[in-house]
Structure 1
């Protein structure tokens, strides 16, 4: 919609905004909205005046009287509208899409108990007790070799995959439930990070909550993983020898190791980002790396980190270096696994499927081929859903340059 000259006398109806103070600015947004903005003090003052029913012109005059600055409140309101924070400006209405929510019938009052400090203290204590108990009985700690608990390879893979899917579902539900307890909707979806298929819970609205609530949501999945791992270890300590206990425990150990890959925006990434005070660690590191690449090609763009505090700049540069190194290593390992393991296994399965004399070998080969092909297709589909627009822009840019040349 095009702004009209009457907008200066119009009222601005804001959506149900939430906000918190952060480093001299205000973080402002709506639950379920796509954008969260950082406003200076004068911007927050304008928001309060508009929310109180002042017109655009009245807000402008009030700000000028209080601060001596002449603020273009109409343009400010338009930017808020573009961020999805405004319901209407005068007669103009701005539609808002209903956010996608997982388990919409799960209400905050259903899971408010999750935010209890007593429960959280207990959850933190359980892994400590289990680890101390296991140290006195080291034989109770599962070993990697116990993952190979049956001689049937396909059955082993299927069972371990089922266990992994169940544990991932519980992990993501922990994020969703703690977010819902904090008043954030959230949704669970599949995605990709480098060559990995991942499940992730989108809870961008948690950025509007207190630090305690944010960290609780970020760490809730790991906390539940720790409780389950502790249960497995304690069960072994007391003589329970069910064959799937080590499968569950070692799957959780692998998941914890993956969480340390913070360059892929894992749960620990968000914890580090919050504790260091960085607003968007991954994006800022990306801007810095593009700046470095531009300088290598003898271009001199504006330094993207110049406005940030010195300590944050140093941390971002270190994180950017770690991101490059970690990405290169992960992609290299993924490529080697694809060439040395996945493709030979797929090729062997196809050969056994065509030429195998034993029906059981053919069934095993078919199951293996379907699983491998299905995972690759799913990864490709999810990757394309995420990066399709960027790929199209790059292709269009290349075509434009070629045609122009």
Structure 2
């Protein structure tokens, strides 16, 4: 039996609890409770939601326990429940004594208020998006030569110009993509935060929209899919401009490259084993609270079972998915397979293709760099080294910073 967490100093059955401002929403047979400032949101049973209301009314822990037993006809351990709320950072004071907690992280663009961006959740936007997609499809049907090809990326014979356009346009699209998440979430009063992160070998920008769980499903799905819709919209606009530009001009070739660069991140979004935009849609549609975390725990459980069988070791392992509702359990077990297979394939691609190719390009650029080389060759090599070397360095720094934060917050 696992040991209970230590009793916080001053927490007694007679204690009166002052909670931070909490948001709450019914979700099927459970309730989603959270604190926007702490970016913490959890699912609690109905008794937990009632206990929060009773504590808000000023009842002591013992009084809330007795009221629940009388009104709900069930035993609910409010004292243990309050301990969990303290760990989550939901408790402000115990008997008028402040409870220390992790300071809230600053949101991005704090001056942007929900009323400034309310348009982002307007139902007319999906209609306009559909019209734009239809126009792009018609353009492809009428002008099939405009369909995207990898050759569109090689719009210039100078590799440095190709890389520079890809770098500038790619990261500009990343910013616009994340701003779409930010704006649609902020329209629902969520304090979103844009930051760099890593997904396996990929350096990514990510927008923390914790709190969107409290919004209606239409708003949640809009926030999850806003980035993909933005990429598709940029590509569609580029296609429409391609229909009115001369194919022999540099502008036409750059527009074709921008179209491809806008579409390139979309296959990445299908990699749901890395918590991409489509992952959050899948998690919402399957009514799972933590598909990635529960899937990882179940995959680890299966891995430990296989290792014990191969080594002949005998021990009892608890299936972490058994405490989940049946519909979540099925989804988590299927997702754990996708998680393991996808991760293995991604890391294999890194080891066999991506990393050797990048190292070869950097080595070739270094070899061509020197006083005896033409200025154009030196400039080309410098651009390659800065872009590829800088990207890998930024990935390593971001990965280390995230890892250090997790260790600091877990101690």
Fold agreement, TM-score > 0.5: yes
Tell me the residue number matched to 1:376: 392
| Structure 2 residue 333 is the aligned partner of structure 1 residue 317 | yes
Cα-Cα RMSD: 2.2
Tell me the residue number matched to 1:81: 86
Tell me the residue number matched to 2:64: 59
Distance 2:299 2:399 in 1: 22
Q: Per-residue CA shift, 1:309-329, capped at 9, x if unaligned?
A: 444333322221122221111
SS in 1 for 2:211: helix
Tell me the residue number matched to 1:112: 118
Distance 2:39 2:188 in 1: 18
SS in 2 for 1:149: coil
Inter-CA distance 392–82: structure 2 relative to 1 (3 Å threshold)? closer
Deviation at 1:76, TM superposition (A): 2.1
Alignment of 1:270-349 (within 5 A): 270-298=280-308, 299-349=315-365
Tell me the residue number matched to 1:402: none
Q: Per-residue CA shift, 1:256-311, capped at 9, x if unaligned?
A: 11111111111011001100111111111101111011111324311111123444
Tell me the residue number matched to 1:140: 146
Tell me the residue number matched to 1:400: none
Report if the CA contact (8 A) 1:287-1:304 is conserved: yes
Tell me the residue number matched to 1:122: 128
SS in 2 for 1:29: strand
Inter-CA distance 339–311: structure 2 relative to 1 (3 Å threshold)? same
Deviation at 1:72, TM superposition (A): 3.4
Give the structure-1-normalised TM-score. Answer: 0.90
SS in 2 for 1:345: helix
Report if the CA contact (8 A) 2:64-2:78 is conserved: yes
Q: Per-residue CA shift, 1:33-60, capped at 9, x if unaligned?
A: 2321211111111111111222223212
SS in 2 for 1:197: strand
Distance 1:95 1:118 in 2: 45
| Structure 2 residue 68 is the aligned partner of structure 1 residue 92 | no
Tell me the residue number matched to 1:263: 273
Tell me the residue number matched to 1:397: none
SS in 1 for 2:386: helix
Tell me the residue number matched to 2:25: 20
What are the ranges of 5 or more consecutive residues in structure 2 without an aligned counterpart? Answer: 1-6, 309-314
What are the ranges of 5 or more consecutive residues in structure 1 without an aligned counterpart? Answer: 394-405
SS in 2 for 1:128: helix
Distance 1:240 1:89 in 2: 71
Q: Which deviates more, 62-71 or 258-267?
A: 62-71
Inter-CA distance 143–206: structure 2 relative to 1 (3 Å threshold)? same
Q: Which deviates more, 69-78 or 269-278?
A: 69-78
Q: 2:227 aligns with which of 206, 218, 221?
A: 221
